[in-house]
Amino acid sequence: MTGTATIDTGVLWTVIAALAVGSFALRFVFIGLVGNRPMPAWLLRHLRYTAVAILPAMVAPLVVWPAATGGQPDAARLAAAATTMAVGLWTKNVLAAILSGAGMLWALQWLLG
Amino acid sequence: MPASTAKSFFWKAVRDSIPFVFVAGPFGLLFGVLATEANLDLLATMVFTTTVFAGAAQFTALQALNDHMPTLIVIISALAVNLRVAMYSAALTPWLGNAPFWQRALAAYFTVDQSYALSVAQYETRPDMSIPERMAYFFGTVALIAPLWYLCTLAGALLGARIPESWALDFALPIAFLAMIAPMLRTPAHVAAALVAIVTALLAAGLPYNLGLLVAGLAGMMAGARVEAAAERRAGVA
């Protein structure tokens, strides 16, 4: 967070209201309105890969260009990401992956000062 | 005894969600801290987190607000990050579409990365589950996580900037998401989807308004669908 001036109260509440309505609408459109009507096979085939596509797409820039280092690639964060992924693939255990990733990050930050 | 099996699926979901306590906890805490640092008061922070209920979108909006982007851009970029929940909702529909309307409306609010990922994994392993059992499982996945998310946001807002920078809380999000992705890479199609999404996201990072995320997500989904279709054709020939 780099901003200095205070966020305008009107803007803030407009954003909160719009996001509250918008986020619910995005979640409701299929499960609420489409309901039990059948969806085409090609759509379902794509939807199976939603999570494994969107989540990595969201994470990749954060790993390579972390905001905390001003967008410069950072050895500790790269190693932490690689460790998390490797342990996750190996153990299939979310918690073990998180703990080893965080451990790697803290250890390297301490070592590299 | 459908009621008792529904109850046992609820508790199974609560147990399955325990690893995500370590995701939602730090994540909620971080949102509270960053919102306070951005000068949001306690009321705004809590209304934000309870009504929007979407970590990544909340962080995106907060960052954009802090950068004093135009209001409309703040809203569009946060909703773009959240477009994936529409896809989660669509992916859950074949499993939950026959449930009563009020349950589907409530499930819509609670559709997040964790509830979607856990529930779909469970439904695929046990396709014989009844609709009430599936709903019980779905709500079980958030029974612990949602209250924890609200409480940790509150704790973060009250703690404010007192969390030392050396904790590198900024990286809680990438680590949590990576840890969630790894066990999902079950087939070559899943791996292809993830790899294409990563490469596209890095190449398209310069696109304005978070469009790179959407382009990369779609590219990854198309790659996964293509590889799956090719594998089915090969299996059909063999």
- Reported as a single tens digit per residue, the pLDDT across B143-183 is 999 999 999 999 999 988 777 777 777 787 788 888 878 88
- What's the pLDDT at A3? 44
Q: Which residue did the predictor score with more confidence, A67 or A41?
A: A41
* Percent over 90 (pLDDT), chain A: 50
- What's the pLDDT at B80? 76
Angle between helices B172-181 and B55-66 (to 10 degrees): 150
- What's the pLDDT at A94? 81
Helix (H) or strand (E) holding B114: helix B113-125
Does one domain contain both B55 and B125?
yes
Mean of the per-residue pLDDT values of chain A: 87
| pLDDT tens-digit series, residues B14-66 | 999 998 887 788 889 889 988 988 889 999 999 999 999 988 889 888 878 88
Give yes or no for a contact between A33 and B204, defined as CB atoms under 8 angstroms apart.
Answer: no
Residue A59 lies in a domain: yes
| pLDDT tens-digit series, residues A56-69 | 988 899 899 987 88
Residue B44 lies in a domain: yes
Residue A20 lies in a domain: no
Q: Do A34 and B90 touch (CB under 8 A)?
A: yes
Q: What is the DSSP string of A83-102?
A: HHHHHHHHH--HHHHHHHHH
Does one domain contain both B36 and B63?
yes
Residue B221 has pLDDT above 50, yes or no: yes
Does one domain contain both B100 and B136?
yes
Residue A30 has pLDDT above 60, yes or no: yes
Residue B22 lies in a domain: yes
Q: What is the DSSP string of B23-70?
A: HHHHHHHHHHHHHHHTT--HHHHHHHHHHH--HHHHHHHHHHHHTT--
Helix (H) or strand (E) holding A24: helix A9-28
Does one domain contain both B29 and B141?
yes
What does the alpha-carbon distance between residue B184 and residue B144 come to, in Å, rounded to a whole number? 22
Mean of the per-residue pLDDT values of chain B: 88
Q: Residue B215 is part of which domain span?
A: 185-237
Residue A25 lies in a domain: no
Residue A1 has pLDDT above 50, yes or no: no
Does one domain contain both B105 and B78?
yes
Q: Considering only CB atoms, which chain A residues are within 8 Å of B168?
A: 68, 76-77, 105-106, 109
Count of CB pairs separated by less than 8 Å, A with B? 306
How confident is the model over B126-148, as a mean pLDDT?
Answer: 96
What does the alpha-carbon distance between residue B232 and residue A22 come to, in Å, rounded to a whole number? 37
Q: Do A95 and B19 touch (CB under 8 A)?
A: yes
- What's the pLDDT at A102? 92
Local confidence band at B113 (pLDDT 50, 70, 90 cut-offs): confident
- B139 contacts: CB under 8 Å, gap ≥ 6: B10, B13, B106, B107, B110
What does the alpha-carbon distance between residue B113 and residue B54 come to, in Å, rounded to a whole number? 9
Does one domain contain both B102 and B144?
yes
Is this prediction's ipTM beyond 0.90?
Answer: no
What does the alpha-carbon distance between residue A81 and residue B202 come to, in Å, rounded to a whole number? 15
How confident is the model over A15-27, as a mean pLDDT?
Answer: 95
Nearest chain A residue to B41, by CA: A9
Residue A100 lies in a domain: yes
Output b/e per residue, B53-81; b: 16+ Cβ within 10 A.
bbbbbbbbbbbbbbeebebeebbbbbbbb
Does one domain contain both B52 and B154?
yes
Which member of B19, B96, B194 has the closest CB to residue A52?
A: B194
What does the alpha-carbon distance between residue B137 and residue B117 come to, in Å, rounded to a whole number? 12
Does one domain contain both B120 and B190?
no
Contacting B residues, span 92-151, partner chain A, CB-CB under 8 Å: 92-94, 96-98, 101, 104-105, 107-109, 111, 113, 116-117
Give me the number of domains chain A comprises: 1
| pLDDT tens-digit series, residues B69-98 | 889 888 987 887 787 788 889 889 989 999
Q: Considering only CB atoms, which chain B residues are within 8 Å of A85?
A: 178, 181-182
Residue A32 lies in a domain: no
- What's the pLDDT at A95? 84
Does one domain contain both B76 and B103?
yes
- Read off the pTM: 0.74
How many other CB atoms sit within 10 Å of the CB of residue B195?
17
Q: Residue A108 is part of which domain span?
A: 38-112
Backbone angles phi, psi at B15, to 5 degrees: -65, -45
Which member of A12, A31, A60 has the closest CB to residue B65?
A: A12
Does one domain contain both B153 and B72?
yes
Does one domain contain both B110 and B27?
yes
Residue B196 has pLDDT above 60, yes or no: yes
A31 touches chain B (CB under 8 A): yes
From the number of C-beta atoms within 10 Å of its C-beta (0-12, 13-18, 19+), residue B147 rates as exposed
Residue B177 lies in a domain: no
